Amino acid sequence: MPELHRITAGGVALVVDTSGDDPVVVHWGADPGAVEIDPALLLPAVARSMFDEPVRPSLLPQLARGWRGRPAVRGSRSGRDFSPRFALTGSDGDAATLTLRLADPEAGLEVEVRLALAPSGLLLVDSAVRNTGDAPYSLEQADVVLPVPAHATESLDTTGRWIREKHPQRRPIQQGTWVRSGRHGRTGHDATAVIAAGTAGFGSRHGEVWALHLGWSGDHESYVERTAGGDTVLGVGELLKPGEVVLEPGGEYRAPTVYAAWSDAGLDGVSARFHDWLRARPSHPTSPRPVVLNTWEAVYFDHDLDTLKELADTAAAVGVERFVLDDGWFKGRRHDRAGLGDWLVDETVWPGGLTPLIEHVRDRGMQFGLWVEPEMINEDSDLAREHPDWISKPGDRMPIDWRHQQVVDLANPEAWQHILEALDAILSENAIDYLKWDQNRDQLELGHDGVASTREQTLAVYRLFDELRRRHPRVEIESCSSGGARVDLGILARTDRIWTSDTNDALERQTIQRWTELLVPPELVGAHVGPTESHSTGRVHDLGFRAITAMFGHFGIEWDIRQATDDDRDRLAAAIRVYKAQRDLIATGRMVRMDHPDPAVQVTGVVAPDGSRALFSIAALATSANEVPLPVRFGGLDPDRAYRVELALPLGPNAVNERTGVAWTDASPLLSGRLLGVLGLPMPILNPEQALLVTLTADA
Ligand code: GLA
């Protein structure tokens, strides 16, 4: 084993100094080539009033090595062994992976950290803490911490709330710790997509950026920390409650996988690492993403077979391929106060079961999808009346209600088995292609037998998904959580789509999708054309803006299109034809988010990996400070190819009127990728909340 161990893939390198007994990541970023340097030359200075040896953030930053930031591993044996001194005991690896084993025999602890660079350049970190002592050890936290260089001076994370997920927030990195904690018992609406640090002013397409993501759907923390010593680190880890993880002698805690991306091409480069890695998974959906119609904003709880059949007919006529029956089909579920837990078809509303609707849908060539919320229970349900002890609680007291519902204690094996069999029965007895799996409440006080159980619950939920998928491998599953409150790579390991947000307001969606897609590739990001007047904001948007916004995701409809005008239905059908022609590109291309100089305009694109074609939307989010729109540049194209530039949407004669128009929208010119990237094209005047969709096709 060399003293400076370098692993490399996809143009990224990680260099670990293993010359002493305290492994230190000395570099994560651009590949420096062979690191032929004496590790001692990389040691920092020692100040006069300081520890008498150089201090660096160890692979496991720890008090015993002089680290005055957050220690990576925290815990104790009733107060003892509070400060382990981990020393390297062994390591192995190859060109792209490195496993390091560390131990403190006196404290009775061992840690194993596996660092693996995927071909996309995404770094995966898996770690475990073992109790080798002879008394129980209470673990408080086990973080993964990676250093970033001092020239990373700004941080970025995302936050949000219901119907407003994934909004970015940026700050200068100063001494101290900026921590994003999630105590929702689920990922959370405010959960950050990544915790990132970058060079001054880094943007979508420029600057160096380092970013971490925790693949976990329970409580979590993400932070950026700069010490007075001058070190900057990024850290993430599961957030544990007191007593939640007590390792018996020989016991082990396995931390959720941490994903780390470095880019010298701004945030688009970070996305490329995540998207490439996700797309390379054997489980990644590769069939063309079907156009969805979801019934929620069309009929809500008002289920009626004839109405739904009519909706299915209308859906099939405009080109829908997957019809999803949302909440309201099961026993007692006439409103959101009752029924959760009773996963049987409501015979009063569905006297013939779901089969008549399913057959109607399938006869029209569409797949059938069904909504479930398996982790939840209404107190007004047969399940709660029969098994009141199956409700997760901190002790004897009930947690506060949220949407009138509580949580099934899935750490209870009987409750878990019951829910599994109920779901299995639904899928076995009905011809169902797709489940929309919802989770609609924060769960702050999850408890099993009086002990905090967020971790146990999260693992039990994962096991439920895994077993159901094993039994029904052809059923696709969407992860929904009051919109986008469960968007993380832990849930995405077992699902095929996320519901991004409960808002279908296209203006809100422009921002939410842009920042969700920092992490998640668009083909997994549910995006629906909602009603003309948004149910979440009351805004009224033209169909063109709604359809172009939904195009950069997994396209669907959530609108009672029986009530739409004939003209709107024709335009919707036309937009669906455009989506179907472009969806392979959307599912495989590189995301391009231009750093457009006008904050009122958002330019989003996808460019085919071979540069043969691209799709861009130009969306006016607000009124502009400029009388006349600034030219839009198209990034990511092959500079040496010529592209035919065509307006794909809106369609129709008045789409871009003469007075506000520009010549190229009619001329469909053939222009070089270099010119389009450097000069760009002038834009027609758009009203706020209007958009254009442009296709660029390389000349054969
Ligand atoms: C949540 C989901 C919605 C819808 C409702 C049904 O809010 O995010 O899409 O399924 O539940 O109750």
Structure confidence at residue 647 (pLDDT): 93
Q: Do both 566 and 690 map to the same domain? A: no
Structure confidence at residue 653 (pLDDT): 42
Q: State which of 553, 585, 617 marks the end of a domain.
A: 585
Residues 255-277 have a mean pLDDT of 98
Closest among 662, 647, 650 to 690, alpha carbons compared: 650
In short, whether 499's Cβ falls inside 6 Å of ligand 1 is yes
Residues 23-51 have a mean pLDDT of 95
SS (H, E, C) 342-391: CCCECCCCCCCCCHHHHHHHHHCCCEEEEEECCCEEECECHHHHHCHHHE
Is residue 382 a part of any domain in this protein?
A: no
Is residue 298 a part of any domain in this protein?
A: yes
Q: State which of 523, 554, 585 marks the end of a domain.
A: 585
**Pair 252, 19: CB distance under 8 Å:** no
CA–centroid distance, residue 603 to ligand 1 (Å)? 30
| Pairwise CA distance, residues 9 & 121, whole Å | 5
Q: Do both 570 and 643 map to the same domain? A: no
In short, whether 329's Cβ falls inside 6 Å of ligand 1 is no
Instruction: For 429-454, write each residue's pLDDT tens digit.
Output: 999 999 999 999 999 999 999 999 99
Instruction: For 638-655, write each residue's pLDDT tens digit.
Output: 999 999 999 998 754 445
Residue whose CA is at the smallest distance from ligand 1 atom 11? 482
Please determine, for residue 608, whether its predicted confidence score (pLDDT) is greater than 90.
Answer: yes
Q: Do both 643 and 602 map to the same domain? A: yes
Q: What would the two tokens of residue 165 be?
A: 């997920």
Strand 137-142 versus strand 245-247 pairing type: antiparallel
Residues 150-171 have a mean pLDDT of 98
Residues 6+ apart with CB under 8 A from 587: 286, 288, 289, 521, 522, 523
Structure confidence at residue 659 (pLDDT): 66
Mutate to test the pocket of ligand 1, among 186, 301, 327 (most ligand atoms within 8 A of CB): 327
Whether the ω angle into residue 650 lies within 30 degrees of 0, i.e. cis, is yes
Q: How far is CA 693 from CA 28, 73, 100, 353, 546, in A?
A: 38, 50, 50, 43, 12
**Pair 325, 357: CB distance under 8 Å:** yes
Residue whose CA is at the smallest distance from ligand 1 atom 4? 296
Q: Do both 552 and 598 map to the same domain? A: no
Is residue 212 a part of any domain in this protein?
A: yes
In total, the chain counts a number of residues equal to 700
Residue type, 338: A
Q: How far is CA 259 from CA 151, 398, 490, 649, in A?
A: 22, 36, 11, 37
Mutate to test the pocket of ligand 1, among 502, 503, 512 (most ligand atoms within 8 A of CB): 502
Q: How far is CA 560 from CA 66, 405, 528, 568, 626, in A?
A: 63, 28, 12, 12, 38
**Pair 148, 202: CB distance under 8 Å:** no
Q: Do both 560 and 641 map to the same domain? A: no
Is residue 689 a part of any domain in this protein?
A: yes
Q: Do both 493 and 604 map to the same domain? A: no
Q: Do both 224 and 370 map to the same domain? A: no
Is residue 158 a part of any domain in this protein?
A: yes
**Pair 556, 526: CB distance under 8 Å:** yes
Is residue 551 a part of any domain in this protein?
A: yes
The residue with tokens 């096991």 is 463
Domain housing 596: 592-698
Q: How far is CA 140 from CA 244, 254, 289, 618, in A?
A: 8, 13, 42, 48
Residues 259-268 have a mean pLDDT of 98
Q: How far is CA 667 from CA 631, 645, 650, 662, in A?
A: 17, 9, 16, 9
Q: State which of 279, 311, 343 marks the end of a domain.
A: 279
Structure confidence at residue 322 (pLDDT): 99
**Pair 587, 527: CB distance under 8 Å:** no
Instruction: For 567-591, write each residue's pLDDT tens digit.
Output: 999 999 999 999 999 999 999 999 9
In short, whether 327's Cβ falls inside 6 Å of ligand 1 is yes
In short, whether 482's Cβ falls inside 6 Å of ligand 1 is yes
pLDDT band of 163, cuts 50, 70, 90: very high
Residues 13-42 have a mean pLDDT of 96
In short, whether 483's Cβ falls inside 6 Å of ligand 1 is yes
pLDDT band of 700, cuts 50, 70, 90: confident
Work out which ligand 1 atom sits closest to the CA atom of 558: 9
pLDDT band of 661, cuts 50, 70, 90: confident
| Pairwise CA distance, residues 642 & 677, whole Å | 12
Closest among 493, 467, 452 to 219, alpha carbons compared: 452
Q: What would the two tokens of residue 696 be?
A: 């660029």
Q: Do both 570 and 600 map to the same domain? A: no
Task: Clarify whether 502 is annotated catalytic.
Answer: yes
In short, whether 502's Cβ falls inside 6 Å of ligand 1 is yes
Q: Do both 40 and 163 map to the same domain? A: yes
* Domain at 192, CATH number: 2.70.98.60
Please determine, for residue 469, whether its predicted confidence score (pLDDT) is greater than 80.
Answer: yes
Q: Do both 230 and 372 map to the same domain? A: no
Q: How far is CA 586 from CA 188, 211, 606, 614, in A?
A: 27, 24, 6, 9
DSSP H helices, 368-453, are 382-386, 413-429
| Pairwise CA distance, residues 313 & 22, whole Å | 66
Please determine, for residue 656, whether its predicted confidence score (pLDDT) is greater than 70.
Answer: no
Q: Do both 96 and 187 map to the same domain? A: yes
pTM greater than 0.95? yes
Q: Do both 673 and 637 map to the same domain? A: yes
Instruction: For 328-348, write each residue's pLDDT tens digit.
Output: 999 999 999 999 999 999 999
Residue type, 511: T
In short, whether 100's Cβ falls inside 6 Å of ligand 1 is no
Is residue 676 a part of any domain in this protein?
A: yes
What would the DSSP string read from start to end of 651-692? Answer: -STTSS-TTT--THHHH--EEEHHHHHHT-B------TTEEE
Instruction: For 227-258, write each residue's pLDDT tens digit.
Output: 999 999 999 999 999 999 999 999 999 999 99
Residues 6+ apart with CB under 8 A from 197: 148, 152, 153, 154, 155, 156, 173, 209, 210, 211, 224, 232, 234
Residues 129-142 have a mean pLDDT of 98
Mutate to test the pocket of ligand 1, among 165, 296, 437 (most ligand atoms within 8 A of CB): 296
Is residue 503 a part of any domain in this protein?
A: yes
| Bridge partners (DSSP) listed for residue 225 | 177, 233
Domain count for the chain: 3
Please determine, for residue 526, whether its predicted confidence score (pLDDT) is greater than 90.
Answer: yes
End-to-end CA distance of the chain: 51
The residue with tokens 């808002």 is 503
Instruction: For 176-228, write each residue's pLDDT tens digit.
Output: 999 999 999 999 999 999 999 999 999 999 999 999 999 999 999 999 999 99
Report the chain's mean pLDDT, rounded to a whole number: 97
pLDDT band of 666, cuts 50, 70, 90: confident
Please determine, for residue 507, whether its predicted confidence score (pLDDT) is greater than 80.
Answer: yes
* Domain at 629, CATH number: 2.60.40.1180
